[in-house]
Every structure is written in C-alpha cells, then in structure tokens.
Amino acid sequence: MEQPAEFPQSGVTESVGARLKAARESRGLSLGEVADRLKLSLKQLEAIESDHFEALPGAAFVRGFVRNYARYLELDVAPLMQALDAHFPSSVREVPNLAHHDAAGPSLAALDDEAAEPGGRKGWLLAGAAVAVAAALVFWFNRGGPAEAPAGGETLAPMMTEASANAAAASAPAAAAAPAAPVVPATPAASAPAPAATAAQPGAGSLRVVAAGDAWVAVQDADGKRLIYETLKGGNEKTVSGKPPLKVRIGNAPQVQIYYQGQPVPLASKTRGATARLELN
Amino acid sequence: MLRSLTGYFSNDLAIDLGTANTLIYMRGKGIVLDEPSVVAIHNDAASNKKSILAVGLEAKKMLGRTPGSIQAIRPMKDGVIADFTVTEQMLKQFIKKVNPNRFFAASPRIVICVPCGSTQVERRAIKDSALAAGARRVELIEEPMAAAIGAGLPVEEPTGSMVVDIGGGTTEVGIISLGGVVYSNSVRVGGDKFDEAIINYIRRNYGMLIGETTAEDIKKEIGSAFPGAEVREMEVKGRNLAEGIPRAFTVSSNEILEALTEPLNQIVSAVKIALEQTPPELGADIADKGMVLTGGGALLKDLDRLLAEETGLPVFVAEEPLTCVVRGSGKALDKMDKIGTIFTNVP
C-alpha cells in the first residue's frame, strides 16, 4: 500500500481527509453526529479524515464512503473522487463505455430526423458506407499503416446503432467531434498551456503525457528515436518533442491523458483492452 | 502468440439481459450496446406475417403509441423471459448490431446473467434463446455476483460483501464470499413496480390516468425514498377519468414518496431477511463494510439513506450503477478460462 495523504496530481494542496474535516468543522458537526448519520464507526471516520484509507476495506468502499460523506456535507464530489483516483482507482474505468457517449446522444437526434423525413433507404446506404469505411480503416490500422487523427470517430461506427451511424454520416463534423470526448477527465492542471520549452524547436511535435496511475508509455519519433520508453509513475507527467509523426503506445491507457501541441487527444477510441496505440502527425 | 491471435478473432460477449435495458460488453472493447429491451413488431394483416420493425431505443419510443398493426413489446418481465421468440429475435438483432463484421462472424461465447431467484426452467429458456441467437457456448452468471464484481467488491477474498441490485423487474440481494454466493434472495420488485405504484396512486388520488413513460419521468424527476428537506413539484399531463379529457396537474415529491412506500418496504424487508440469514462471521464483515447498491433502482433519490436508516449499516451507491452488472459479467468473461466457479449451471 502506498503512502496516503499525497495526491500531487490533483493540484490542490489539501488532502481529501483534511477537506472533509474542514467542511465538517465549519458546519459545527461532531464526528459522532456524522457517524450516526452515515452509519460508519468512529474509527472508520477518523481513518477517512486522517487519510488512512488503507484501514478501510478496499477501493470501492473508500470511494463510496468518501462520496457519501461529501454528499452529506454538501461538498462537490467530483474533485474528491479525482484526488482518490491515483491510489484508489475507480473500477468503472477498467471497462470503457462505448455505448454511453456514442449511441445515447446522437441517436436520439437521428431518430427525430428520421421521423421528419421517411428516407429509411438512404439511411441504410449511409450506414453501410460508414461501416465499410470503418472496416477499411481498422484493417489498415492493424497492418501498421498510419492512422489519421479524425479516424477516431469513424472506427467506432460499427459499434454504433444504425441510427447513430446515420447521424455520423449525415452530419460528419458534428458526429466525429462527439465521440472525441476523452474518457479520463482532465486533471485541473490540464488547462495549463503546453510548456514553453518545447516551442523552441520549430516543426517539432510537442507531446505531454500525464499519468494518473502507473502506466507504461513508449513514444517514438519519425526517425525511430525513443523519446519515452518507461513506466510513468502515477501523478507524474512528461513532456517531449520530436519530429512527427510520433508513434505512441500506452499501457493502462484509462489512467493516462495526452496532449499533443497543447490539445488533449482522446485515447478511448484507440484503446484495445488497456493498451492504446496511435500515431500523431 | 496463439492467444493473441484467437483473441483477435474472438468476439465473445457478456450480456445483461435486463427487464428494462439490455447491455452488451464485447471482450477487448468495452460496453458496446446499451438499449431498452423493447421490440416493435409489425403485423401484416393481409398475409398475417409478423416482422420486426425496430428494437431498442427506437422501439421504446413507440411504446404505448402504436396503431393496431404495430405491437411494441417488452419481452422480459420480472427479470425472466415472458415471450421466448421475441426475446430470441431481440438478442439476435442486438448481437448483429454490435457485430456487423460478417467475414469473421465466428459464433461468440456468451456470458449472460440471470436473476438468482429464477427457476431452472427460466434459466434454461434464457440459455436456449442465447444459443438460438447464434452463441457457440453460453455461461450463466447470477446477477448479484455480476453486480458485485462490477461494483469492484473483493468477491474472491474470504470476506463477506453484500450487494443489492435493483433492476427493472427484480431486486436481488446477495452475500458473496470466496467467489461464491453465500446467500441470495430475489424479490420481484424493481423500477417497473415503482412506476406502477405511481400510476395507481395518481389514479386513486387524482382520478387521472397516466402512462408508463410519464410515470417513469415522474419517478426520475421527483421520486425519492426518504423524506428530504425540500419538497419538489412537477407538472404532469394525463387523462381525467371522470371527464375523459386530457388535463395537466401538479404532483409533489411527498406524494410520490407515499406512492412508493409499498414497493420500497418490500425491498427493505428483502434486505432485512438477507441479513437475518447471513452466517455470523460474514455478518460481522458486512457490519463493517455495509452494502452496495447497484442497478437503475439505486438512482432513486435517497434510497441509500432509507436502507441505512432501516438497517443501521453503511450503504452506498456503486459508481455508474446502471452498468455494474454488465461490467461484472464482462470481467467474468475475461477470466472465463481461469475461473469456473462463479458461473452457475443449468442441467
């Protein structure tokens, strides 16, 4: 078990326990009152407030208890969960949800479209075309050919519903942008601009890799030079620049967020299992 | 090398065939489908032939709004198959949707979950319909087990974990230790019963008739399981029974809480019975760790609070409760070759 009380990547000085404790005290609640409401023992609550999370039964419980506590104190839950990610990762991340942000949003709109104009045939053709394009891309990608950046939206097409494929084909730019939402929420530091040091090299691609948990990262530039070839520890980040196209391989991809030329790059669509492979031009 | 090769061609699936929603996990990809378990069937009067018009989201929009020639059906009821052929067709359509690649369409191995309270006949029916939908091999997993794995509980350790999965048709209570279900209990109360209770309440107290979809909206908007500090209101439209004319009226969260009391009590008593039946050592573990809520019903506001107050144990809602079961089945599928004990058998 790693040392608690340190959540460097969160960019917040206070630890989770300290924030909860401060919020409780500012509301004038005693530990006993909280324990009575949350049905936790005093020992468990003390462990939470002093960041001794290893005393609790496991990651799922740590996250659950902290969430309940924060909700009771009417704190914003999201930043606390993010701070816990490094040591107690959510089990949700292990399984990417492709149906969630692809099918749910666009297909609703697509259904309305279809209701308005009964052009079902055309829709089928478009869906077929999208599937064919996606299949070709997948084939090419697996043979080691270069994958274009916008391909992310289209390789997902076979997993979409027929209706959402319509939407993808009909309103190409909008639909291609939709699945581009990154699975990993950006850390607070994410909005910071790319470090200035990399801007010195003209024509070079600058890549920033931010790891929320331990992850294997390999980056090669166009000349085959290894820019990164190591396991990044959770909470660390690394910035490199080299001649594009950059070949990137990431193990444990759900824990990693990358920024190319300062722009976040979605990994979800490039991830098979936990490994992401992509090429940045 | 061979593993990665077979892994490439394999399109094994884990399916949460639920009363309300069907979710499919594909090995190596993630959750690839999440749609309502609804099928719309077109009945051609001239030739007397039936054909599938739509499945999933599209079909759900037709529920309660169909002309005579179209039937929108929910083929699952209370967690088990109510209409065998329609379920089979629905599964087929969903599998086709996630697997449009015809060239390597080797029939997949499928892990599918069943309510722990289902009979052997009902399990057999689910297994057969998956086989008929094109599966090569079908493994069944009990829902509480899948939910516990999906919620990230330490199921394989020698410690008791308690999970309450509130689905559309059933509520499953399971106590799990060492990769096996120690105790499980299932009551046929879930999201559908909540909707039904709201419909009945509004008919009784307002003399208004509302549809299932409206009832579901009310439940999501202002439904709660425990009296809260604020009272929320919502405008609803329905048909006045006395006048026979559509009218709008306002319901408050307190009324909906009252309407939901009866189904909620059934869930509470199922949980209490489970705790009574738990061996003492596991009971001690659960007193420490509490119980985890999964399934769509867990999203009902303050349900965790109700169960915590009623049992005096810590209760929390799992992260993304709607996908817990399919994620758990997916993890079981990934480990299928290594562990066999978590699957349940059908003779």
Which residue range(s) make up the domain with A235? 206-280
For B161-208, the pLDDT digits (tens) are: 999 999 999 999 999 999 889 999 999 999 999 999 999 999 999 999
Edge to edge, the sheet with strand B246-252 lists B208-209, B233-240, B246-252
The whole-angstrom separation of Cα B66 and Cα B63 is 7
The whole-angstrom separation of Cα A84 and Cα A185 is 13
Domain membership flag for residue A124: no
Domains of chain B, each with CATH number or no CATH: 1-37+77-147+322-346 (3.30.420.40), 38-73 (no CATH), 148-189+261-321 (3.30.420.40), 191-259 (3.90.640.10)
Q: Is A60 on the interface with B (CB under 8 A)?
A: yes
The answer to whether the beta carbons of residues B292 and B328 sit under 8 Å apart is no
Q: How does strand B39-44 pair with strand B49-55?
A: antiparallel
- How would you write the pLDDT of chain B (347 residues) with one tens digit per residue? 444 455 555 688 999 999 999 999 998 889 999 999 999 999 888 888 889 999 999 999 888 888 888 989 999 988 888 988 899 999 989 988 887 665 555 678 899 999 888 899 989 999 998 898 888 889 999 999 999 999 999 998 899 999 999 999 999 999 999 988 999 999 999 999 999 999 999 999 999 999 988 999 999 999 999 998 889 999 999 999 999 999 999 999 999 999 999 999 999 999 999 999 999 999 999 999 999 999 999 999 999 999 999 999 999 999 999 999 999 999 998 887 665 566 776 65
Q: What is the CATH number of the domain that holds A49?
A: 1.10.260.40
| Closest Cβ–Cβ partner in B30, B101, B311 for A95 | B30
Residue of B nearest to A89 (CA): B152
Q: How many domains does chain A have?
A: 2
Choose one of A87, A114, A131: the last residue of a domain. A87
How close A183 gets to chain B, by Cα (Å)?
12
pLDDT of residue A178: 44
| Closest Cβ–Cβ partner in B97, B101, B323 for A135 | B101
pLDDT of residue A111: 34
Choose one of A30, A55, A87: the last residue of a domain. A87
Q: Nearest CA to A6 among A89, A76, A77, A86?
A: A86
For B264-288, the pLDDT digits (tens) are: 999 999 999 999 999 999 999 999 9
Interface contact A39-B323, CB threshold 8 A = no
Q: Nearest CA to A245 among A148, A141, A136?
A: A148
- How would you write the pLDDT of chain A (281 residues) with one tens digit per residue? 444 444 444 444 578 999 999 999 999 999 999 999 999 999 999 999 999 998 888 889 999 999 999 999 999 998 898 888 888 888 887 888 887 544 443 333 333 333 333 333 444 555 656 666 666 666 666 665 444 444 444 444 344 444 444 444 444 444 444 444 444 444 444 444 444 444 444 456 788 888 887 888 888 888 777 788 888 777 788 888 887 778 888 888 888 888 888 778 877 777 777 788 887 77
**Chains A & B: contacts with CB separation below 8 Å:** 113
Task: Say what the pTM is.
Answer: 0.68
The whole-angstrom separation of Cα B185 and Cα B174 is 6
Q: How far is CA B335 from CA A267, B162, B327, B338, in A?
A: 25, 22, 13, 5
Q: Is A111 on the interface with B (CB under 8 A)?
A: yes
Q: Nearest CA to A71 among A31, A30, A38, A28?
A: A38
pLDDT of residue A200: 41
Domain membership flag for residue A22: yes
